[in-house]
Structure 1
């Protein structure tokens, strides 16, 4: 699992803790922290799913996200608070008694989308290539002929190997000796 998968797991646990805390204290700041943790979990799971190339999970996440957004807008529209201040701008306003179904559908689509993306990011694949060792043919069955040396051409002379250099290093003068040579004594 990559860094985004680990971040998704941490964000999921943090968001669950913040959900419990929000239910206990009923503070607006805790609710915003919860929504931020859910958003981090959603984005980290989406990145991990793309990294694992699970495109069916991405497609299911896109459908679930679309349903969540659509049902949320329908719920807000039923209350007359979506898009504009005039409740009769797009037609006659519906009664707010039927708006609960959109709220429940939006909640179910949101939770379902998060669950699908989170499981797609965290659960390892069943047909993993890394889990199954690849079989290699034995070396006896895989015999290759020895490479042949090209035959020398009749018109070209044979090349001689380069002369070898001596293996002993040349002696250098001592560091206290001068850099000039002394003249040879005359006879």
Structure 2
């Protein structure tokens, strides 16, 4: 599971805690925090579902979101709140005949959509399991190559007559370079 899946799990637990807290204290700030954590859970689940390439779950989420938005607008319209230009729309009495069904449909669509996306983000896929590498047996002993035998070289056979080497030449005087005007012929070396 990626970071967005972990964020979705954390946001789900936080939103459940805030829902209980909102029911106990009935504060508006806690309600807004609850709605914010639900939105974070929704978005993180959506990102995780896209990362896992579960496009059927994305299609179900899109359909559920559309039903949620449509039923919410219908409920608000029945109360005269949505698309109303009147400044005192909340205070005026309007006919609210059968508006409860839209509220319940919107609530069911919202919870269902969030549940489908959350499960699609958290539950691992069963059809395309990743190949788990086989466990290797523990090595019992480390194999070492057999020691190499030292190579013995036989010395070359010696001859009985020693070979004479010529003595190196040592010049008696430092070599002089000929001037550029001098001839390029070499003079023979003096004999000893």
Q: Which range, TM-score by smaller chain?
A: 0.5 to 0.7
For 1:133 and 1:2, how far apart are their aligned partners in 2? 21
Whether 1:48 aligns to 2:42 is no
Query: 1:10-29 alignment to 2 at 5 Å?
Result: 10-29=10-29
- Unmatched 5+ stretches in structure 1: 87-93, 135-185
Whether 1:75 aligns to 2:65 is no
For 2:74 and 2:62, how far apart are their aligned partners in 1? 18
- Cα offset for 1:133? 6.3
Other structure's SS at 1:97 match: coil
Other structure's SS at 1:114 match: helix
- Cα offset for 1:84? 1.2
- Unmatched 5+ stretches in structure 2: 87-93, 135-172, 175-192
For 1:97 and 1:25, how far apart are their aligned partners in 2? 31
Aligned residues: 131
Match of 1:151 in 2: none
Other structure's SS at 1:98 match: coil
Match of 1:113 in 2: 113
Match of 2:63 in 1: 63
Match of 1:95 in 2: 95
| TM-score of the aligned structures, taking structure 2 as reference length | 0.64
Whether 1:122 aligns to 2:108 is no
Which structure 1 residue ranges, 4+ long, deviate > 3 Å from structure 2? Answer: 131-134
Question: Rg bigger for which structure?
Answer: 2
For 1:116 and 1:97, how far apart are their aligned partners in 2? 32
| TM-score of the aligned structures, taking structure 1 as reference length | 0.66
- Cα offset for 1:95? 3.0
